[in-house]
Amino acid sequence: MTIERTILLVVGLVVLGSVLLAVFHDIAWLWVTGLMGAHLVQASFTGLCPVVMALKRMGLPSRPAFG
């Protein structure tokens, strides 16, 4: 698995998890979904993402996510 696909997986799991928690536990969990969206916008402009840095340290290869 590549860094790009792993990032898609992590973001998808966080969003799905927070939505499920909001539906079945407490609506306040939607803040996590909002923060994830804000982070994605920030990362698209700055290129700074802590998860990417961690995945690079783990040695995952980097290739285009789609192609």
Structural domain includes residue 65: no
pLDDT in single tens digits along all 67 residues of the chain: 899 999 999 999 999 999 999 999 999 999 999 999 999 999 999 989 998 999 999 999 988 777 6
Domain that holds residue 40: 12-56
Structural domain includes residue 62: no
pLDDT at 67: 65
Number of domains making up the chain: 1
Structural domain includes residue 46: yes
Structural domain includes residue 22: yes
Angle, vertex CA 8, rays to CA 6 and CA 12, nearest 5:
115
63, 4 Cβ separation under 8 angstroms: yes
Structural domain includes residue 34: yes
DSSP state for residue 65 in the 8-state scheme = S
pLDDT at 38: 94
